[in-house]
C-alpha cells in the first residue's frame, strides 16, 4: 500500500496548509473545494493519532491471513497498489472516505475532523468538549463513537435493569 501523508505531516510540522487547498481530494464532492483550516493548537494529539495510524498501516496484516489469501488470491496485488492519504482539512463528517482518482481507489483519513470521533490514548486525546456526551473511547486504541443518543439510553436502561 502507498501511504501519502504529506498534508498531515505539513500540519503537524506547522506549515501553512494553503498550498494544499487545491489538492484533488478537496474537490471530490463537486467543483468547489471543501478545504477548511485546522486549529494549530491541536497538533499534539493529531501527531499522536498520526503515529498510531501510520504504525498500524505500515504493519498491516489481515487477521487469518491464510484464509484471506485463499478467498482473495489477488489480495497482495490489490492492497499493494492502494493509496492511503492521511490529511487534515475536511469538514465534519468526512473523517474517512474511499475516493477514486485516475481509476484507482484512494482511502482518505482526515486526522482532524471536527467534532473528533476518536482518540488514540486518554492522555493524548482531544479536549473533552470535542466528544459528544455518549462517546466511548477505548484507552487501548482507536474506537469510533458508534452509539447514538437513543441507543445509549437503551443500553444504559438494559445495564441497570437486567442481571448480568
| 33: its cell numbers | 473545494
pLDDT in tens, the chain (164 residues): 889 999 999 999 999 999 999 999 998 877 788 898 887 888 888 898 899 899 988 888 887 888 888 888 888 877 777 899 999 998 877 888 888 888 888 899 998 874 344 444 344 444 444 444 544 444 443 344 434 444 555 556 566 666 44
Quote the pLDDT of residue 76: 80
- Alpha-carbon span 32 to 162, nearest angstrom: 52
| 46: its cell numbers | 493529531
What is the CB-side half-sphere exposure of residue 57 using CA atoms within 13 A? 21
In DSSP terms, which residues pair with 106 in a beta bridge?
A: 83, 99
| 157: its cell numbers | 436502561
Quote the pLDDT of residue 56: 87
Quote the pLDDT of residue 154: 53
Quote the pLDDT of residue 150: 47
Q: 0.75 cut: is pTM over it?
A: no
SS3 87: strand
Contact assessment for residue 42 and residue 126, using Cβ atoms and an 8 Å cutoff: yes
Amino acid at each position: 500500500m502507498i501511504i501519502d501523508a504529506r498534508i498531515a505531516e505539513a500540519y503537524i510540522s506547522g506549515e501553512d496548509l494553503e498550498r494544499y487547498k487545491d489538492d484533488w481530494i478537496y474537490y471530490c464532492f463537486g467543483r468547489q473545494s471543501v478545504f477548511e483550516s485546522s486549529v494549530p493548537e491541536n497538533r499534539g494529539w493529531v501527531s499522536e493519532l498520526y503515529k498510531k495510524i501510520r504504525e498500524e498501516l505500515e504493519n498491516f496484516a489481515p487477521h487469518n491471513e491464510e484464509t484471506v489469501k485463499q478467498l482473495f488470491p489477488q489480495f497482495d496485488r490489490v492492497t499493494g497498489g492502494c493509496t492511503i492519504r492521511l490529511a487534515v482539512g475536511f469538514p465534519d463528517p468526512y473523517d474517512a472516505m474511499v475516493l477514486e482518482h485516475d481509476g484507482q481507489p484512494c482511502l482518505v483519513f482526515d486526522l482532524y475532523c471536527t467534532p473528533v470521533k476518536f482518540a488514540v490514548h486518554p492522555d493524548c486525546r482531544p479536549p473533552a468538549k470535542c466528544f459528544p456526551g455518549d462517546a466511548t473511547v477505548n484507552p487501548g486504541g482507536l474506537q469510533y463513537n458508534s452509539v447514538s443518543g437513543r441507543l445509549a439510553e437503551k443500553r444504559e436502561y438494559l445495564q441497570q435493569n437486567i442481571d448480568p
